Chain A
Amino acid sequence: GAVVSQHPSWVICKSGTSVKIECRSLDFQATTMFWYRQFPKQSLMLMATSNEGSKATYEQGVEKDKFLINHASLTLSTLTVTSAHPEDSSFYICSARFTGFRETQYFGPGTRLLVL
C-alpha cells in the first residue's frame, strides 16, 4: 500500500513550548490529509481536515489557534501544538487521502507527545 511518514515519532517537551509534527505522503500526492488524536484505550478522534493550499477544517471542540495546521504542498502537512500543556500529551496520527484506483486513507506511524 501507499506510504505515509510522520516525524518525529516521539517528542518529550516542557510545558509552554511548541511542537511541530510533519506528515508526508511518500509515493502519492495527497490534496487532503487528516489529523487524529488518540488517548490510551480510546478510539481515534478526528481533529481536523487539512486541504492543500487552503485553511484546515477543524472538528468541534478543537482549538484552531492551539493546533495550527499547514498543508503547504501536495505531500506535506504539519501540525503545530502551540504552548503545549500536559493535557495535550497524546498519540497524534496523520492520514493521507488516496484517490487512486479506490478512495481510502493511509496512516502515518503516529507521534507520541509527552508534555512535562
Chain B
Amino acid sequence: GQNIDQPTEMTATEGAIVQINCTYQTSGFNGLFWYQQHAGEAPTFLSYNVLDGLEEKGRFSSFLSRSKGYSYLLLKELQMKDSASYLCAVMDSNYQLIWGAGTKLIIKP
C-alpha cells in the first residue's frame, strides 16, 4: 500500500531551526510536496522536490532522497507565524497526491 509518515507534533523555540521529516512508500514517484496549513485555512504550497538534493527558498529548505524514500522540511529563524501544520505529499504514478497526516508545529517564545 501507499504510506506517508511524518511526526504528529513538534515544538520549537522562536528564532531556532526545526527539521520536519517525512518518509514515504508509494506506487511510483512524480515529486514530493510540502504544504503549510494554518488552523482553519486551506493548505498553501511551500516546495516541490523531484530530484535528490536540497532546494532552498528563503527561510525554508526542502531535501529529498529518492533512494531512501525520505524528505525533510527545514525551517530557519522560526517566527511565531510559522506555527501551523506542515503536510508532506507525494505525487504517485497517476499524478495523484498521496497525503501525510501532517505535522503540527508549535512555536514557543
Q: In the complex, which range does the number of interface residues on chain A fall in?
A: 10 to 19
Q: In the complex, which range does the number of interface residues on chain B fall in?
A: 20 to 34
Q: Does the CB pair B102–A104 fall under 8 Å?
A: no
Q: Which of B43, B50, B102 is most buried by chain A, counting CB atoms within 10 A of its CB?
A: B43
Q: Does A105 contact B (CB under 8 A)?
A: yes
Q: Does A8 contact B (CB under 8 A)?
A: no
Interface residues of A (CB under 8 A from B): 1, 6, 34, 43-44, 46, 49, 91, 93, 97, 102-110
Smallest CB–CB gap between B73 and chain A, Å? Answer: 16
Q: Does the CB pair B31–A108 fall under 8 Å?
A: no
Chain B 20-54, CB within 8 Å of chain A: the 1/0 string?
00000000001101010000111111001010000
Main secondary structure of the interface of B (DSSP, over half): loop
Name the A residues within 8 Å of B96 (CB-CB).
Answer: 46, 49
With known contacts A49-B96, A103-B95, A104-B33, A43–B45 Cβ distance under 8 A? no
Smallest CB–CB gap between A51 and chain B, Å? Answer: 12
Name the A residues within 8 Å of B41 (CB-CB).
Answer: 109-110
User: In the complex, which of the residues B30, B31, B45, B50 contacts A1, with contact meaning CB atoms closer than 8 Å?
Assistant: B45
Interface residues of B (CB under 8 A from A): 30-31, 33, 35, 40-45, 48, 50, 87, 91, 95-97, 99-102
Instruction: Please name the residue on chain A nearest to B50 by beta carbon.
Output: A102
Q: Does the CB pair A44–B43 fall under 8 Å?
A: yes
Bound complex: CA A104 to CA B32 (Å): 9
Bound complex: CA A97 to CA B94 (Å): 12
Smallest CB–CB gap between B92 and chain A, Å? Answer: 12
Can you report 6 A-B residue pairs in the complex whose CB atoms are below 8 A from each other? A43-B87, A93-B42, A102-B31, A102-B48, A107-B42, A110-B41
Q: Does the CB pair B45–A44 fall under 8 Å?
A: no
